[in-house]
Amino acid sequence: MIMVKAHAKINLALKVVGKREDGYHLLESIMMPLELHDRVEIEILPKGFDSFITCDDTSVPTDENNVVHKAFAEMKKRFNITQSFRIHIHKIIPLSAGLGGGSADAAAVINALNRLLKLNLSEEQLIDIAYRVGADVPFCLFNHPAYVSGIGEKLEKINFKDHYHVLLIKPNEGLSTRQVFKDYDDMNLNTFVNISALKEALINKDDEALAKNMVNDLEIPAINSKPIVKEIKDKLFSMGFNKVLMTGSGTCVFCLSNDLKALQKAQKELQPFGKFVRITETL
């Protein structure tokens, strides 16, 4: 049996740059891995058994609707895998949050099978598998800060050495990624997201420029549907934090800070905003 950590991610910026004919949106983003993680266990089963997925969170589907199922099916088809496996997900990352929990689990399965079966896949091979499974899966393979573009398949690692504590506030309400993108298209927005400036801010350790350029194109449609996202952001701003943003397609809001005590105080005050209010850190 092998156990792999499946780390959550946050988007420090997210820019929608276009849409392909097949409906997939082209994006640019700066993504950061977090210490917060699920655990994925994979065990080879004896001959005669079928592969199956289990999860200790009953709200998580374990059939073909789970992206882990899609990742396993892609690996099985591509490498003619005949062994059967039990895949168990110990779920910590909240659902419908924009934290990439499902993508992280799928990436963990790809990495685990690569190790278990000694496939010795290159980064390019891993990415080619991962982006066919989901947009955030390639990033989740490596757990390294990166500039991500295309539909998630283009990765440029960023040597970012600063460390932040991260407060995550996930409202009880979630959002459908597909619906948020549809709303974004319908609203015909023209927000300004300067990915290059944010990248430079990270490399140069410029906190002020980092805060200024943390922008997410999907925030406006998300807030339009779930105003609590703005309420959480406004509360954090009122407490003096400046590096605050909704991650991905939401609804989780995060706050970066080097002041752990201030975040712990904020954590207590923001408990009424959701069941998942937790402090973690950048990886």
- Residue ranges of E strands in 46-161: 52-55, 84-90, 146-150, 154-157
Q: Which of 217, 220, 224, 229 is nearest to 192 (CA)?
A: 217
Distance from C-alpha of 56 to C-alpha of 263, rounded to nearest angstrom: 29
What's the pLDDT score for residue 24? Answer: 85
User: Distance of CA 210 to CAs 28, 243, 282, Å?
Assistant: 16, 7, 15
Q: Which of 271, 281, 210, 205 is nearest to 241 (CA)?
A: 210
Q: Which of 165, 164, 162, 172 is nearest to 265 (CA)?
A: 165
- Is residue 136 part of the annotated active site? The answer reads yes
If you average pLDDT over residues 271-275, what whole number do you get?
A: 95
* Least trusted range by pLDDT, from 19-23, 56-60, 169-173: 19-23
- Is residue 206 part of the annotated active site? The answer reads no
What's the pLDDT score for residue 269? Answer: 97
Is the confidence at residue 190, as pLDDT, over 90?
Answer: no
- Of the candidates 9, 15, 199, 243, the residue annotated as catalytic is 9
- Of the candidates 38, 91, 105, 136, the residue annotated as catalytic is 136
165 close to 263: Cβ distance less than 8 angstroms: yes
Over the stretch 144-171, which tens digit does the pLDDT of each residue have?
999 999 999 999 999 887 899 999 999 9
Over the stretch 71-112, which tens digit does the pLDDT of each residue have?
999 999 999 999 999 999 999 999 999 999 999 999 999 999
Domains of the chain: 2-157 (3.30.230.10), 165-281 (3.30.70.890)
Instruction: Look up the pTM and report it.
Output: 0.96
Q: Which of 186, 243, 194 is nearest to 220 (CA)?
A: 186
